[in-house]
Amino acid sequence: MAKPLALTSGEPAGVGPDIALEAWRRRSELDLPPFYLLGDRAFFAERAKILGLPIDLADAVPEEASTAFARALPVVATGEIATARPGQPDQTSASAALASIRHAVDHVRSGRAGAIVTNPIAKSVLYRAGFRHPGHTEFLAELAADGGRVPQPVMMLWSPALAVVPVTIHLSLREALAKLSAELIVTTARIAVADLKAHFGLAQPRLAISGLNPHAGEDGSLGSEDIDIVAPAVEALRAEGIDARGPLPADTMFHAAARKTYDCAICMYHDQALIPIKTIAFDDAVNVTLGLPFIRTSPDHGTAFDIAGTGKANPSSLAAALRLAARMAATKPS
């Protein structure tokens, strides 16, 4: 039997608990693999009551989750309580969310879970509690450190229609431009190619590398970065045998005909990558962290405080994240 997926609670005041409960309730309809929810069972029971969902919850350990999944949503305790009301983070929010993530990493690294699926966190809430990472991705990389070596995480947003990877992630645009280098582009692309081969069945992934400037710089008339930084990175990747094209004008990379010519778009900064995929596949896009020694996926949306506890949250992206995590876990060597 495949190992269950570890699902974190996310920000307790957000929609994470809502979509977790709804996903389990619709588990057959959504064709979901077995998973367990990490956190405070009493809190989840209260949220189910608020939502009017008749859901059975079962205290469990990871090894029991797959067996329990058919009859009840398995909940694995983290030792942290949560008391936040929908849309109203409180003093328990940060500790509950972070404990859930830490336990998930421990379970997957010790072989008790097959992969991690993370519900959305509220970074502003975590920052007020002293959290020092830009986001989920960087925190997971630190937790994955082995012998002091922290792996370089790469964020991919995946959907059946489009996959994108931003080279720079949670940085201001000014900081992203300062950090961008040919070496960073090459390293990011290598990691993407390795995971596309290992977990997505692509023997020779095709990469479309975006330019940085409008029209990929117009031969230098709109900035020299595409000539000085992006083009050398593409040449280096091609020299390694990687199927890479670019720098390409980002404004013509994402229409339907263009998307058929590549498997993954490598983009220079966050919004250049995320705007197109959230436009094309908002409800079923999945956030995948590449380059880690374990599999991690996440819904491609935020905490949505405004609809938490209302029953309006759509579990489609979480369902897609759970299915993709199970698919990727099935490719891991035994």
Query: What is the model's pLDDT at position 334?
Result: 45
Cα–Cα distance list, 194 to 128, 154, 166, 187, 233 (Å): 36, 11, 16, 11, 17
Top pLDDT among 82 and 170 is at 82
Residue by residue, what is the 3-state secondary structure of 247-316? Answer: EECHHHCCCHHHHCCCCEEEECCHHHHHHHHHHHCCCCCEEEEECCCCCEEEECCCCCHHHCCCCCCCCH
Do residues 77 and 40 lie in contact, with contact meaning Cβ atoms separated by under 8 Å? Answer: yes
Dihedrals φ, ψ of 85, to 5°?
Answer: -85, 155
Write out pLDDT tens, residues 221-267.
Answer: 898 999 999 999 999 999 999 999 999 999 999 999 999 999 999 99
Is the predicted pLDDT of residue 104 greater than 50, yes or no?
yes
CA atoms within 13 A on the CB side of 264: 29
Q: Sketch out the chain's domains with CATH numbers.
A: 1-153+294-334 (3.40.718.10), 161-280 (3.40.718.10)
Q: What is the DSSP string of 147-193?
A: TTBPP--EEEEE-SS-EEEESS-SS-HHHHHHH--HHHHHHHHHHHH
Write out pLDDT tens, residues 13-60.
Answer: 999 999 999 999 999 999 999 999 999 999 999 999 999 999 999 999
What global pTM score does this model have?
Answer: 0.90
Least confident of 89-93, 99-103, 144-148, 198-202: 144-148
- Mean of the pLDDT values across residues 198-219? 94
Q: What percent of the chain has pLDDT over 90?
A: 83
